[in-house]
Structure 1
Amino acid sequence: MKRILITGGAGFLGSHLCDRFIKEGYHVIAMDNLITGDIRNIEHLFKLPNFEFYHHDVSKFIHVPGELDYILHFASPASPIDYLKIPIQTLKVGSLGIHNCLGLARVKNARVLIASTSEVYGDPTVHPQNEDYWGNVNPVGPRGVYDEAKRFQEAMTMAYHTYHNVETRIVRIFNTYGPRMRLNDGRVLPAFIGQALRGEDLTVFGDGSQTRSFCYVDDLIEGIYRLLMSDYPYPVNVGNPSEITIGQFAEEIIKLTGTDQKVVYKELPKDDPKQRQPDITKAKEILGWEPQVSRAEGLKITYEYFRNLPEEELYKAAYHREFTKK
């Protein structure tokens, strides 16, 4: 039985990866310090003999006994609320954390895949964004702690690949959604659905003309799995190229939820990207991958997940959002 370590294993994407590799017959070791992850995302796996959980911060030395075949580094705050609240931890997990994971991969002779992001492109001047674009990032702006952590992470990964012959894979993830997202994480989709469920007006920052491209989580996990099993060591965009403006997306959510809220507009945050659309040519050619789940289908599943959350979760999210503004 092959063994895989998944850092950030109790998070949104990490928990779905745990499920996928359990399904594929792996021995899965999930590692998370639970600073943004939620143990409830993986508690259904605890009874399995081929699943382990390590409550540990990857920014500190990592020890995993026995052999390891693969390491997936998904530990990182990934939402604006999180990385603005804990900027130092965000930088540490993207620097010390990746260094520890790569060192472990070298010792164990394991293949490592890191979760990078479309944020390495910053507020792009190229559209759609392809892997050869170097980005337009403000390193000292409020988003710099996340953007530069991911850019450093890519550089460190390639250095280990080049100088230590570590097998590396880099996935650049575009906006992803689905069950197990947190309502209070500040990202546009759970924010809109949470507001609709509470009967609040939907808040759009800016004039609503900025765009995003949303990929359903099952499609993303399939792309990550294929990239890990490929022999391609360089960055690959994985996302859904179906682009939509935030204003149009707000209207989609209102229609989906059957509510009659209005859309209200507020000032656009500093350095917020105006356009986001992946060029997935490499993913198609190298991985034979492209999204299969339409936005309408994925949103319906995601809405049902949020709609069935306990009521206290819904209002805890609203309280958290207001509290973190102060």
Structure 2
Amino acid sequence: MNICQKKVVIFGGTGFIGTHLLRNLTAQPNLKVLWTKRPTTPLPDIPNLPAPRQFENLETVSIDWISDADVIIDLASSGRGRAISQRDVLSRVSPHLRIIDGLLNVGSKAHYIFLSSGGAIYGNDDSVLLSETARCIPQTEYGLEKLIIESALLCAAETTLTTSILRVSNAYGIGQTNKPGFGVIPTLVKSLEDGEVFKIFGSAHAKRDYVNVLDILRAIDATIKTGGAGIVNIATGKGTSIAQLIALLEELTGRTVNVEHCEPLQNEPNFARLDISRAKNVLGWEPQVSLREGLAQLLKKTTLL
């Protein structure tokens, strides 16, 4: 390895954000990228992509293999799990805690970057604008998973590890999976393409903060360069309702969404705007891709434009 290169290890490199991140980081000559994937997961189509280490899950990742990493980027998660009838928080968090404990036990001085959830971790709060110091009372198992791992990393930061926790709001962009619990935008675009019914659970005026994957990549780049950033909200600070999102897509495509109104889902957190002042001050980061621009880029990859 070139002495000037940083060794970067990525967990969760075949997911939506992970694939974009692999493409971005492997193109940077100052970084030596190592990444993991499950044996059954197909390789992403990325030029000059280094061969991955294949592990069934984080429980089987070798601590020796990552002990000399300069940067570790943890994107791995079991997903939102809305269709699962029984809670199992332990299985969601223990693989991450094993990695953190293992790194501490060997005295690793890595910079551990964890992608948390700005949409799920705060829960319901009456505040209009949420900063990183707001209380966190997650309403879902997914949010609780993120909060527990955050707490472990904050404790680890008191020893040898350097930590950065990026609380990313609702991510969207090219390549996002269309399946329940993985984003309203791909589901809405698919409904437009196929003419299928788009189900609105609860109010069409419920708002979310949609941040483009390209802006998320820029935030990760800034975090690698900055070093330990602590907890940082990565969002736009703006809310868009389902009704506004539908209207924008209809305007861009000239098509009409076939809508069905349904009862609200349980444990859905209320919307509160995320304060991104700290991201601006600590990382020198702020979003650059508007929702209109991001949707237009996404639509060009479909039959709608």
Q: Give the TM-score taking structure 1 as reference length.
A: 0.82
Is 1:180 equivalent to 2:147 in the alignment?
Answer: no
Identity of aligned residues (%): 23
* Counterpart contact for 2:127–2:272, Cα < 8 Å: no
1:15 corresponding residue in structure 2: 19
1:96 corresponding residue in structure 2: 94
1:30 corresponding residue in structure 2: 35
- Counterpart CA distance in 1 for 2:286 and 2:302 is 26
Structure 1 SS opposite 2:36: strand
Structure 1 SS opposite 2:23: helix
* Counterpart contact for 2:23–2:46, Cα < 8 Å: no
What pairs with 1:154-173 in structure 2 (closer than 5 Å)? 154-162=150-158, 164-173=159-168
* Counterpart contact for 1:33–1:55, Cα < 8 Å: yes
The number of residues matched between the two structures is: 293
Sort the Cα spacing of 1:230 and 1:282 in 2 relative to 1 into closer, same or farther, 3 A: same
Deviations along 1:185-215, whole A, 9 cap, x unmatched? Answer: 4321111111111112332111212111111
Deviations along 1:27-81, whole A, 9 cap, x unmatched? Answer: 211213378xx535x2324x44xx2312214441421537321100100134x4x
* Counterpart contact for 1:127–1:277, Cα < 8 Å: yes
- Counterpart CA distance in 1 for 2:257 and 2:231 is 41
Which of the pair is proportionally richer in helix?
1
- Kindly provide the amino acid, as one letter, of the partner of residue 97 in structure 2: H
Sort the Cα spacing of 1:172 and 1:213 in 2 relative to 1 into closer, same or farther, 3 A: same
Sort the Cα spacing of 1:88 and 1:272 in 2 relative to 1 into closer, same or farther, 3 A: closer
Sort the Cα spacing of 1:34 and 1:86 in 2 relative to 1 into closer, same or farther, 3 A: farther
2:42 corresponding residue in structure 1: 39
* Counterpart contact for 2:16–2:175, Cα < 8 Å: yes
* Counterpart contact for 1:179–1:306, Cα < 8 Å: no
Sort the Cα spacing of 1:105 and 1:56 in 2 relative to 1 into closer, same or farther, 3 A: same
* Counterpart contact for 1:210–1:273, Cα < 8 Å: no
- Counterpart CA distance in 2 for 1:172 and 1:12 is 16
1:65 corresponding residue in structure 2: 65
Further displaced range: 24-33 or 281-290: 24-33
- Counterpart CA distance in 1 for 2:46 and 2:6 is 21
What pairs with 1:123-272 in structure 2 (closer than 5 Å)? 123-138=124-139, 143=140, 145-162=141-158, 164-186=159-181, 187-272=183-268
- Counterpart CA distance in 2 for 1:70 and 1:52 is 18
Further displaced range: 23-32 or 58-67: 58-67
Q: Give the TM-score taking structure 2 as reference length.
A: 0.87
* Counterpart contact for 2:116–2:166, Cα < 8 Å: yes
Sort the Cα spacing of 1:110 and 1:31 in 2 relative to 1 into closer, same or farther, 3 A: same
Is 1:279 equivalent to 2:275 in the alignment?
Answer: yes
* Counterpart contact for 2:111–2:228, Cα < 8 Å: no
* Counterpart contact for 1:98–1:153, Cα < 8 Å: yes
- Counterpart CA distance in 1 for 2:14 and 2:291 is 25
Structure 1 residue runs without a partner (length 5+): 309-326
- Counterpart CA distance in 2 for 1:178 and 1:77 is 20
Further displaced range: 217-226 or 120-129: 120-129
Is 1:296 equivalent to 2:298 in the alignment?
Answer: no
2:9 corresponding residue in structure 1: 5
Sort the Cα spacing of 1:302 and 1:77 in 2 relative to 1 into closer, same or farther, 3 A: farther
Structure 2 residue runs without a partner (length 5+): none
> Cα RMSD over matched residues?
2.4
Structure 2 SS opposite 1:305: coil
What displacement does 1:263 show?
A: 2.6
Sort the Cα spacing of 1:43 and 1:104 in 2 relative to 1 into closer, same or farther, 3 A: farther
- Kindly provide the amino acid, as one letter, of the partner of residue 42 in structure 2: I
1:53 corresponding residue in structure 2: 52
Deviations along 1:206-228, whole A, 9 cap, x unmatched? Answer: 12121111111111111122123
- Counterpart CA distance in 2 for 1:276 and 1:204 is 19
